[in-house]
Structure 1
Amino acid sequence: MEVTGKVKTVLEQQTFGSGFTKREVVVTTDEQYPQHLLIEFVQDKVALLSDLSVDDKVKISINLRGREWQAPDGTIKYFNSIQGWRLEKLGDSPSGIQDTPPPYEQFGGKDLAPPNEEMDDLPF
């Protein structure tokens, strides 16, 4: 899976007694209802965040992780996390590559399909 958005904050690296290290980044998605996602990078993947700055546009490859935990009173709880494993900084499309397809109007009118798409008159 992938997440794209703008870096809101990069948190400090944490190292735990067992030698386990992690660092987290908050990414704000670019959609109608933006989401603020906390994505963690662990062990050797922590280095991927070293050149990251607030407001950088990024695409992050992620895995969803889930754990079950039993409390001392016997209650079962579940925890989820988002773990990043690849990070790509996105530019402001200097080569003209667009994130979304151009509107149909650019192809001559609202009733025309973009090139290389067949017209389909089926109602479904």
Structure 2
Amino acid sequence: MFFDIGPLEILTIFVIAIVVLGPDKLPKAISETSALLRKVRSFSDSAQNEIRQELGPEFSDLQPGDFHPRALAQQALSRAEDEADLREITQSPSLNGQADEGDSRPGPMAV
């Protein structure tokens, strides 16, 4: 459903809440919890919008998940692979795969 919580878990939480809080305090606790979640969501949205405005239009497609360490590592590895491919192409004797006559450098090793 949401947060990897299924319907059975939600029902269990609801039953525990009824037992702990009682049926008379439960509606007030639910409304306070929902108000807190709305405030947190509003704060998060405003912080994201402020960060996007400060960074400028070139970072408009930036998502909070982009700052996760795994995402950063994948981006760095992807950039390193692209640079290695570019380096291999630029260091090859010629673009059509044939070596120049005066070039005594060995070509790139096949992997």
TM-score (norm 1): 0.23
Q: Which has the higher strand share?
A: 1
Greater Rg by CA: 2
Q: Say which structure, 1 or 2, has more relative contact order (CA 8 Å, 6+ apart).
A: 1
Q: Which has the higher helix share?
A: 2
